[in-house]
Amino acid sequence: MSGLIFPFAETPAPGETVEVAQGVHWARFPLPFSLDHINVWLLEDGEGFAVVDTGLRGEATEVLWHRLFAGVMGGRPVTRVLVTHLHPDHVGQAGFLVRRFSAELWMTREEFLLARLLCLDVRPEPPAEAVDFYHRAGFSPEMLETFKRRGFGNFSLGVTEMPLGHRRLCDGDRLSIGGRHWEVVVGRGHSPEHASLWCPAEHLLISGDQVLPRISSNVSVGVTDPEGDPLTEWLDSLEAIENRVPDDVLVLPSHNEPFRGLHHRLHRLAVGHQRRLDAIMEALDGPKHAIDLMGPMFRRKLEGTDLMLAVGEGIAHLHCLRTRGQILRETAADGVHFWRRAA
């Protein structure tokens, strides 16, 4: 973490907040994953509070929201719910908050529509397209059977019922919240149309998952866009943020702690992915399946959810290298893809 400054010594206690700037409150909710928390931001907004991100669906999160209602919010309403992107830890309680306070949901269009779609797509077992996706990546028959037993459509388990409509956020929009102007900064790669919020007057950036200080956001290819190149989009987005948002902002991320040193962190994130790209090129001493490259990329044992995330991220790196013209993909008689260096 050399080059970054973390100005807050302690994180918020459950159901409480830390005021990181005047009228900007930091709350934290638990997650039942290896990444065990998400940060949520409460912005004083006239007679109430605008909420940025909401936490995962579940009783534990809802209990903490009620503590905030009675505590720092002092019975004041939620004026609007802004969601950076569609992942359940961010949008999970949006429906609960919108209905409780008759508030509007603000999201970018791609994030809102995909969240609505995923909530409706629940099946007892993965469809053939999903199984084929992992078959093409080189999964063994045993690995495919394990994948089939996981079910399909678990997104809805982490999300309260989504509202039918939303207020659309677009890149460059200027929102007035509590007398301050916040500019929407859209990034891509981690999710389709991720919205960060930048307040130039107060030197604040609510970065969502687009910029995190201690970990790198997952950037994956999945069955919904199997030929996509999200890593190129993500790297382009990092460069665009550096050109647009000054280095002196206090970054308010969705995970880990608020920090200073935005441009240094953007550079380190790009370098980290370039190292993985280099590791793939080194490992491609002959044709390889995507699954064969997990070891060189991640250098640790992967299983379960971690393996699924890693394979998606590995394919994203392969597609980035293909976009750059460095590698080629071919298909064997059994339908499995293999990759090799370009001549």
Sequence spans of domains, the chain: 18-341
What CATH number has the domain spanning 18-341? Answer: 3.60.15.10
User: What residues contact 42, with CB distance under 8 A and at least 6 apart?
Assistant: 17, 24, 25, 27, 49, 50, 51, 52, 68, 72, 73
Do residues 283 and 296 lie in contact, with contact meaning Cβ atoms separated by under 8 Å? yes
Q: How far is CA 40 from the centre of its chain?
A: 14
DSSP string, 200-218: TTTTEEEEETSS-SSSPPP
Q: How far is CA 74 from the centre of its chain?
A: 31
Which of 130, 168, 174, 172 lies closest to 148, judged by CA? 130
The DSSP call for residue 15 is T
User: What residues contact 179, with CB distance under 8 A and at least 6 apart?
Assistant: none
Per-residue pLDDT of the chain (343 residues; tens, 9 = 90+): 679 999 999 999 999 999 999 999 999 999 998 899 999 999 999 999 999 999 999 999 999 999 999 999 999 999 999 999 999 999 999 999 999 999 999 999 999 999 999 999 888 889 999 999 999 999 999 999 988 888 888 899 999 999 999 999 999 999 999 999 999 999 999 999 999 999 999 999 999 999 999 999 999 999 999 999 999 999 999 999 999 999 999 999 999 999 999 999 999 999 999 999 999 999 999 999 999 998 888 877 776 677 888 899 999 999 999 999 999 999 999 999 999 999 8
Distance CA 105, CA 166 (A): 5
- Claim: this prediction has a pTM higher than 0.85: yes
Helices H / strands E in the chain, number of each: 10, 15
Give the CA-trace dihedral at 50, 206, 210, 301, to 10 degrees.
Answer: -90
Distance CA 108, CA 170 (A): 6
CA-CA distances (angstroms) from residue 265 to 215, 243, 260, 297?
10, 14, 9, 21
